[in-house]
A = this chain, B = another copy of it.
């Protein structure tokens, strides 16, 4: 595989003021084209350090993408350092200046003098047009290495990648064919998932598996190279689905709430939510999906016992005898919210999010999820184990997944 490297320039990245989303974007695009991204290096606005990382990248990779430090202010040093690295003079190009002046005219603004510098470019570089900003990008090629130098503003960089860099790379003949796929699981922890599918690692040596834990569950990434990549992936995916299919709620970039929303829409079902320990998170997630008013009727966050009794109609006796965190209360909440909302489905959560409120019998992390529709109602008991934030997130994801499993007849 062809080795690629990403170099990000800017103090704001080192001091954490800006998260390096550029590197992730470029990494993803290059990977999809079959490059092996092996290093991402971030340095500040510092000439010596940038020069040294250019040198290293030159020795390690064939394709190098540099972003940042092309702006017009004094701490933008990338153009100068790269030009020196490639022994290139910097020359003034009147046609670039005209373009920049035109830009400012179109915006009805005076061009600040400092932008004149953007028309000074390395003589040996091929230019990449920047449609969204004033700093042009550069391409340097030498001894089989290609360096793309792009601005750090994400929208400008992305546009230039899409319009210039990626089309150019796609024309390269010696790229290796690569295919990848993300399988999104929930309700199974990483180690259990690994146990269940580890033998596939030997069965499909061509397919590289990676496990990526997220709050919503564990993402399994499959990758394969070569002409049969597609085929290998399909075979491996089929075997994974045989073993852990019911835990896979989607593929690629979707979310559990999007999957549930699509199922509800497809089956023309409506839902109402009664939340205690999740405090609104289940409803928040469901309403993150555009168009949610087509299936989401209402959510009741019955935090106090009084609210559970008054709004949801949970019998006072149920709470007195079994407690607010109990299978009985979870059931009464799900049935209650469904009844008052006249929806097809009612779902509920009640538990102890922590850090306070736990007892030896009902510890922090104990959560009951209730489900009710016209035919049946039932509950599930779950034990989560981290902090309040995690317990809320996991409870909400589990409640959403319960809906999915019911709608797909897994439960």
Contact = CB atoms under 8 A, between A and B. Distances in A.
A387 interface: yes
A304 B284 CA distance: 15
Contacts of A46: 38
A300 B301 contact: yes
A283 B276 CA distance: 11
Interface in A255-300: 273, 275, 278-284, 286-288, 290-293, 296-300
A293 B304 contact: yes
A190 B73 contact: yes
A146 to B, nearest CB: 19
B38 A41 contact: no
Contacts of A201: 74
A290 B386 contact: no
B279 A292 contact: yes
A43 B17 CA distance: 22
Interface in A81-96: none
Interface residues of A, number: 110
Nearest to A104: B385
Contact of A39 (B42, B113, B195, B363): B42
A147 interface: no
A19 B18 contact: no
A331 interface: no
Given A39-B42, A43-B39, A301 B283 contact: yes
A411 interface: no
Contacts of A177: none
A37 to B, nearest CB: 4
A175 to B, nearest CB: 16
B279 A288 contact: yes
Contacts of A307: 297-298, 341
Contacts of A363: 106
Contacts of A115: 191
A395 to B, nearest CB: 12
Interface of A: 8, 11-21, 23-29, 31, 37-44, 46, 49, 71-75, 103, 106-109, 112-115, 132, 153, 155, 159, 180, 182, 189-192, 194-195, 198, 201, 210-213, 219, 221, 273, 275, 278-284, 286-288, 290-293, 296-304, 306-307, 310-311, 340-341, 353-356, 363, 365, 383-390, 392
